[in-house]
Structure 1
Amino acid sequence: MTAFPELDALLGDLVTSLRGLLGNDLAGFYLVGSFAVGDADCSSDCDFLAALRRPLSPDQEAALRELHAEIPTRPGHWTRNLEGSYAPLDDLRTLERLDQPWLYVDRGWRKMQWSGHCNRLEQRWTLRECGVTLSGPQPATFAAEVPEALLQQAMARQLPTLLDDLATWTDIDQVAWGQRYAVESLCRMFRTFSDGRVHSKASSLTWAMQTFGPRWTPLLRQVQADRTRPWNPDEPPPAGSADLTRAFAREVLARLSPDF
């Protein structure tokens, strides 16, 4: 399933557990995120989506909450790096149900929440176009198609507020991980704006080096070299890199204009 035997064993156990808890209501189980679009490595989280034939009952929800509270207590790396949602098929069949909250577990968390985190255009596109099927039918048989133009329009709306949005939960001047994430996100989102497809962060950094020119190569190489470093709130970014990141963001926004 993946390049990581430990993760394969965990995913196999998770699918088996879900079949026991949900029975025939489990329509399918899929990998999305970096394990679907490519370039997943040991620093990645493992994004999943479980498709359901009907909305969760209270007993099923309680059982899933208990399961995902227990998984991070197990030994191993990947037990603390699963992230995903439980989505009814009726929601997945139409884009009219975008942003509808699904039962969701965040990376490393033991407490699940109801969230639209996995129910956005990028995740829907990834599921249909390159989701990895571990159980159930191929996603293209039930998941609504996401037109390229819709993805491009979404990126045009989201890019201008990206740094402000990141500032609500991380500080690119103080936290190296946040600075790297900002650059990776700018590259990935602008690439989607350019071609209407979802790509990995790693490949988007390489693409940006070819697209934006030599002025930005040192910044992009810095992020490329450090991208697998883990979250550490006490690790500051390299000197000057936060200001360079803001300047790069201005360059990206300038290229959103049709007159560029």
Structure 2
Amino acid sequence: MPKSKDLRAPAREPTPFAQLNAVLAPLVGEARALLGDNFIGAYLQGSFAVGDADRYSDCDFIIVIRRDLTPEELPPFQAMHAAIHEIPDNPWRNQLEGSYAPAEALRRWSTTPRDPPGEDRGEDWGDPGMSGAPARAYPFWYLDHGAKTLVRSEHDNSQVVRWCLREKGVVLAGPDPRELVDPVPAEALRAEIRHTMALCATLELEPMALAAWQVFWVGLYCRMLHTLTIGKVASKAAGLSWAQGALDPVWSGLIGRAKALRKGMAEAAHPADPDDVAATRAFVRYAIEWAEHRARTQAAIAQRLALARAGTPRFDPRGRGGPGRGQHAPPAFRPNGRGRRG
């Protein structure tokens, strides 16, 4: 438990945007009234917690509850979120995204229990908040960006969300989030990132039709590679800037265009450029290989250190026993997707 002097208290003005605060106030107030003794706390995670949020950012919230809501208890919450969508003259009314997370399930990530009581999900279930991904862990009641209704989704049941909430979460109401979420080890964060990278590729990076989605995928993979490297979650802007300097320069133009296009710009609603779509798919293949190569390199280093501690002779760094200097990043794929450079 954090020391009392370090406790994060509820923020009077949780964000720099008065209109967003005017949306968050009824969200927290109404949810608290509806939940009664079932309410534990309400928090912001995502960009408004880790940094670099702007006028066009999603506002990611987590409402922590003692026990999960049953489908029969859901109608007043659906009505509340629909009403928030009708707040007049407020652009933030449809930019909320978040979940109602049962405290026991939120404390640490686990695959058990997988399904809510009486809500068994079959093998054909596809997660509506994760592009149809199969069931893996407990699904919270989730509000997608722009949506009016809550659905079951594992979107926020992740190590990334837990890390953001525990380490950077903004308190809207309730106790310090460090009292609710166990520490997330860096290796657990990295393992989830590698899983997410592979899953998104399996789902074929859809949707991709609009420019906004194409740059989203570039930004997401840059951010994931950044997390793999530093073992913590930083902002999207930080991930893009890091990637532009750390990855093969062949991707600099693609990453630069992703940095320049913001969600609120008119160009974001235009059809994605076919060349950038092809380059994005090639970049994702490169990113996955980069991540796999990094994992192999780190495993080899760990093995060498373990052998050294045990008194076993080290591998010859000039031989085949381990990675040498300059071997961390794999050869880049060409942006046009025609394979590696020769």
> Structure 2 length as normaliser, TM-score?
0.70
Residues 82 and 148, structure 2, Cα contact 8 Å, conserved in 1: yes
Q: Percent identity?
A: 36
Letter in 2 for 1:151: L
In the aligned structure 1, how far is the partner of 2:179 from the partner of 2:111?
A: 17
Letter in 1 for 2:229: S
5+ residue gaps, structure 1, are: none
How many residues are treated as equivalent by the alignment? Answer: 257
Letter in 2 for 1:92: L
Letter in 1 for 2:154: G
Q: CA deviation at 1:102?
A: 1.3
Letter in 2 for 1:125: W
Letter in 2 for 1:13: P
Give the equivalent residue in structure 2 for 1:132. Answer: 170
Which has a greater percent of helix? 1
Question: 1:61 and 2:74 equivalent?
Answer: yes
Q: CA deviation at 1:56?
A: 2.5
1:79-134 Cα distance to aligned partner (Å, 9 max, x none): 11111111111112232267311111111111211111111111111111111101
Letter in 2 for 1:31: L
Secondary structure at the counterpart of residue 156 of structure 1:
helix
- Worse overlay, 45-54 or 94-103: 94-103
Letter in 1 for 2:97: E
- Worse overlay, 92-101 or 205-214: 92-101
Residues 58 and 145, structure 2, Cα contact 8 Å, conserved in 1: yes
1:6-60 Cα distance to aligned partner (Å, 9 max, x none): 0011111221112221122211000011111111112211110001122225664
- Worse overlay, 186-195 or 246-255: 246-255
Give the equivalent residue in structure 2 for 1:200. Answer: 235
Distance 1:166 1:203, change over 3 A: farther
Task: Indicate the structure (1 or 2) with the bigger Cα radius of gyration.
Answer: 2
Which of residues 13, 37, 54 is equivalent to 1:41?
Answer: 54
5+ residue gaps, structure 2, are: 1-13, 113-136, 298-322, 329-342
Secondary structure at the counterpart of residue 158 of structure 1:
helix
Q: CA deviation at 1:202?
A: 1.4
Secondary structure at the counterpart of residue 25 of structure 2:
helix
Residues 148 and 196, structure 1, Cα contact 8 Å, conserved in 2: yes
In the aligned structure 2, how far is the partner of 1:201 from the partner of 1:133?
A: 21
In the aligned structure 2, how far is the partner of 1:233 from the partner of 1:210?
A: 24
Which of residues 171, 189, 192 is equivalent to 2:224?
Answer: 189
1:146-171 Cα distance to aligned partner (Å, 9 max, x none): 1110111122233234334253x312
Question: 1:110 and 2:148 equivalent?
Answer: yes
Question: 1:74 and 2:87 equivalent?
Answer: yes
CA root-mean-square deviation = 2.2
